[in-house]
A and B are shown apart, each in its own frame.
Chain A
Amino acid sequence: MSFITGVGLTPYGKHEGSSSLDLMSRAAQAALDDAGLKRSDIDGILCGYSTVSPHIMLATVFAEHFGIRPSYAHAVQVGGATGLAMTMLAHHLVDAGVARNVLVVAGENRLTGQSRDASIQALAQVGHPDYEVPLGPTIPAYYGLVANRYMHEYGVTEEDLAEFAVLMRAHACTHPGAQFHEPITVADVMASKPVAMPLKLLDCCPVSDGGAAFVISREHTGELGVRIRGCAQAHTHQHVTAAPGLSELGAEISIARAREATGLAISDVRYAAIYDSFTITLAMLLEDLGLAGRGEAAARVRAGHFSRDGAMPLNTHGGLLSYGHCGVGGAMAHLVEAHLQMTGRAAHRQVRDASIALLHGDGGVLSSHVSMFLERVR
């Protein structure tokens, strides 16, 4: 058994002058404070990567900097799925008795630490070095290809996709730490600059600075505990050229495994924290996971289903699309928000009942998937 005993999150956006280590440290301190633990209580550290400050041993660089001598430490790299993959590993480490309290941390000055071109170029390298990268694709282009096919198969329109950007922005407007606070409309998304069609600027998450951290422990420290009920992964390919067809999606495989591991059904879920690097990513994952029927997720957005007061509140902090995306920390903000919701600490964003949450992360081009169920316990 394992519990998420503390969470820490910085605002996302510009942190001029902060390094990746600075942002990791701020988030880690906040998570320790939240858990009511000291540095000496932490015996495991898992960290992500920083494209601005690459290092072959980032976990020990951080441990030394932050002042911890753990008995278990290393970095993890699964692209956008890294945060949940680290949480899954921490869960198993704690469950197996390898560590008592594992600090999971990531942070990156991805916005101010390098040019936007450098960032886009670094990320495009997830493409095949011989067969894809010479063609000049970008991450939005990889997802643009996926979007084009998915829209064709299920009759999804660009206006449908725009609904997800509008929803995430509406949620971000209620969170002081979000990168964007100006409301947008479907017309704004449609009129935004083309990036890689059918994806336009407002269909894409921004590049941000920020940090996020959690503590995963054997026992819960507060009155309310957030227990990791169970989780699973699926990895079907790396490159979009080698991706399986839409009938064999990794998210469907990982959620089936997670449901089997926990005995939970989608109908048990009360809060959803789903990876949203692009509007198409969110639309597809909602449908892959069974949170909406094929081609029906946008209609559910319009009906208020995924809003704070709807039947399935989704990414109430604004997601990657509008809270921001600082790399590994990006999707960790989804878990921080889920934790706040589950423990009744989300202030004016609080939903009615977040007793069971479903989290899902995606790395690469829908390549790597992690599905996780969290449960509130007393």
Chain B
Amino acid sequence: MSSSERIADWTKGEEAITYQTCAACGHVQYFHRAFCAACGASDSREARASGKGRVYATSLVCRAATPETRAHVPYNILLVDCAEGFRVMAHGENGLAIGDEVDASFTAFAGKLVPFFTRRK
């Protein structure tokens, strides 16, 4: 699928994490662009990710900066390395540790949909 036919993802309110793979050089990128950031080619293929990944880092946020986010504290922010080869920032269950195998679901946070990872059963 070309970059002009964008698949809706969680940033647009859909329960999906998407990514792009460059048809020219194979580079995988998470932040959507009309081109490949590695080689500049414009024919990246877009796909929905499996939602499987591994925890790269966590930080439990205990002090939020807005009334909307303060209602959720503490909330666990994660960096997750997805199986398809890109990294996402997301929320996750408390107690997750680096290296844990996780699966994505989605949850409401401060009026928006966000990815939420739980430990793989």
Residues of A within 8 A of B (CB): 117, 120-121, 124, 128, 130-132, 134-138, 140-141, 144-149, 152, 193-199, 239-242
A-B contact pairs, 23 of them (CB 8 A): A120-B65, A121-B65, A128-B89, A130-B11, A131-B11, A134-B11, A134-B110, A136-B75, A137-B59, A137-B77, A138-B64, A144-B61, A145-B58, A147-B59, A148-B59, A149-B79, A152-B57, A152-B98, A194-B62, A195-B63, A197-B59, A239-B31, A241-B30
Contacts of A195 in B (CB 8 A): 62-63
> How far is the CB of B19 from the nearest CB of chain A, in Å?
11
Most buried by A among B62, B78, B109: B62
Question: Do A131 and B30 form a contact, CB below 8 Å, given A148-B98, A240-B79, A241-B89?
Answer: yes
> How far is the CB of B58 from the nearest CB of chain A, in Å?
5
Contacts of B112 in A (CB 8 A): 134
Contact A136 B79 (CB under 8 A): no
Contacts of B61 in A (CB 8 A): 136-138, 140-141, 144, 196
Contact A135 B66 (CB under 8 A): no
Beyond A117-B66, A199-B59, 18 additional pairs, beta carbon < 8 A: A128-B31, A130-B11, A131-B30, A131-B88, A134-B110, A134-B112, A135-B77, A135-B90, A136-B75, A138-B65, A144-B60, A144-B77, A149-B56, A196-B60, A198-B59, A241-B88, A241-B89, A242-B31
Separation of A171 and B79 alpha carbons in the complex (Å) = 35
> How far is the CB of A196 from the nearest CB of chain B, in Å?
5
Contacts of B59 in A (CB 8 A): 137, 140-141, 144-145, 147-148, 196-199
> How far is the CB of B66 from the nearest CB of chain A, in Å?
6
Contacts of A136 in B (CB 8 A): 61, 64, 66, 68-69, 72, 75, 77, 109-110
Chain B contacts with A in 51-105, Cβ cutoff 8 A = 56-66, 68-69, 72, 74-75, 77-79, 87-91, 98
Contacts of A199 in B (CB 8 A): 59
The residue of chain A having its C-beta at the shortest distance from the C-beta of B10 within the complex is A134
Contact A197 B31 (CB under 8 A): no
Residues of B within 8 A of A (CB): 11, 30-31, 56-66, 68-69, 72, 74-75, 77-79, 87-91, 98, 109-110, 112, 114
Separation of A364 and B19 alpha carbons in the complex (Å) = 24
Question: Do A124 and B88 form a contact, CB below 8 Å, given A134-B114, A241-B79?
Answer: no
- A-B pairs, 10 with minimum CB distance: A144-B59, A136-B69, A120-B65, A194-B62, A149-B57, A197-B60, A145-B57, A121-B65, A148-B57, A130-B11
Contact A148 B58 (CB under 8 A): yes
The residue of chain B having its C-beta at the shortest distance from the C-beta of A204 within the complex is B63
Q: What's the A-B contact tally at a CB cutoff of 8 Å?
A: 104
Contact B114 A145 (CB under 8 A): no
The residue of chain A having its C-beta at the shortest distance from the C-beta of B112 within the complex is A134
B89 contacts which of A135, A138, A140 (Cβ < 8 Å)? A135
Most buried by A among B30, B60, B78, B114: B60
Contacts of B31 in A (CB 8 A): 128, 130-131, 239, 241-242
Separation of A241 and B62 alpha carbons in the complex (Å) = 20
> How far is the CB of A115 from the nearest CB of chain B, in Å?
10
Contact A149 B98 (CB under 8 A): yes
Separation of A317 and B64 alpha carbons in the complex (Å) = 30
The residue of chain B having its C-beta at the shortest distance from the C-beta of A127 within the complex is B89
Contacts of A120 in B (CB 8 A): 65
Separation of A134 and B68 alpha carbons in the complex (Å) = 11
Question: Do A124 and B89 form a contact, CB below 8 Å, given A135-B114, A145-B57?
Answer: no
> How far is the CB of B69 from the nearest CB of chain A, in Å?
4
Question: Do A241 and B87 form a contact, CB below 8 Å, given A134-B110, A134-B114, A141-B61?
Answer: yes
Contact B89 A132 (CB under 8 A): yes
The residue of chain A having its C-beta at the shortest distance from the C-beta of B32 within the complex is A130
Separation of A196 and B56 alpha carbons in the complex (Å) = 16
Separation of A73 and B90 alpha carbons in the complex (Å) = 42
Separation of A121 and B70 alpha carbons in the complex (Å) = 12
Separation of A147 and B112 alpha carbons in the complex (Å) = 27
Contacts of B91 in A (CB 8 A): 135
The residue of chain A having its C-beta at the shortest distance from the C-beta of B79 within the complex is A145
The residue of chain B having its C-beta at the shortest distance from the C-beta of A149 within the complex is B57
Separation of A121 and B110 alpha carbons in the complex (Å) = 14
> How far is the CB of A365 from the nearest CB of chain B, in Å?
11
Contacts of B109 in A (CB 8 A): 134-136
Contacts of B87 in A (CB 8 A): 241-242
Contacts of A147 in B (CB 8 A): 59
Contacts of B77 in A (CB 8 A): 135-137, 141, 144-145, 196
